[in-house]
Structure 1
């Protein structure tokens, strides 16, 4: 630690940091919560391994929850909903349970695949042949035309 003012860090801050990170707190949120600047927050992480480990563990838990939610959204899911009806003349409400199907979300699936399988799904694919996009499209069109001609389907469009 450097000479100067004593650190405001307290050992119990590690558990508070873990809990805050599990709730989705950012580094800036953490600094605000502890009443310190972000530079001090990062110094605490460097100087106090227990604090750093707590932040990492808390963020991992939160990140896994988001990852699971994104995956569910990408592949679709079903849940049970309840609707409350109050029929005319009835004393009690009627609860009706029914399934709700959430369809897969293409945007979520693309996002998932771009990060999990970047070679196959990134928007910027590396072209090892040195061709630009127009050349690649021209070559692909030429292959389609050649394939159609070879199979007697030259006019198919």
Structure 2
């Protein structure tokens, strides 16, 4: 018979933890939500594989959406928006207005967002850190009154 008190884990915690993790909950926040310690959350992960899988599923759902959004921002995007446009037709005879007609049409507008350089660099630094890391060299002078000089080298090779 195992030592310690019986677990108060409930199977319905799996759905709850998946939703919480999809919203970005950390293990510490899960412990607060369930009114437990972080160690208890870790114990539940080991004792209940379905609980651990629910955590991974929830986090993966949101991480995937965020990664896709970041990638789209880095690449730039094009999309179609629909807009109502008021059209007015006026007829004249001998310089005098004889008829006027207005109507609203819905037109498709092609919109575009340019690629975002910062998002692209962030993506590459995380996906290819060896090629896109910032290397900072510090040069220190022996003269204490001289300002320090810094050389920043971005290694894109």
Q: Which protein shows a greater Rg?
A: 2
Specify whether residues 9 and 103 from structure 1 end up closer, same or farther in structure 2 by C-alpha distance, changes over 3 A only.
same
Give unmatched runs, 5+ long, in structure 1.
126-131, 138-157
Deviation above 6 Å: which 4+ runs of structure 1? Answer: none
Number of the residue aligned with 1:146: none
Number of the residue aligned with 1:69: 69
Mapped partners of 1:29, 1:94: distance in 2:
51
In the superposition, the TM-score normalised over structure 1's length comes to 0.65
Mapped partners of 1:32, 1:96: distance in 2:
51
Residue number among 104, 109, 113 corresponding to 2:120 in the alignment: 109
Mapped partners of 1:77, 1:2: distance in 2:
58
Q: Secondary structure of the equivalent of 2:135?
A: coil
Residue number among 83, 96, 106 corresponding to 1:95 in the alignment: 106
Give unmatched runs, 5+ long, in structure 2.
89-100, 140-150, 152-157
**CA drift at 1:101:** 0.4
**CA drift at 1:55:** 0.6
**CA drift at 1:48:** 1.5
Specify whether residues 133 and 32 from structure 1 end up closer, same or farther in structure 2 by C-alpha distance, changes over 3 A only.
closer
Number of the residue aligned with 2:19: 19
Higher helix content, 1 or 2: 1
Higher strand content, 1 or 2: 2
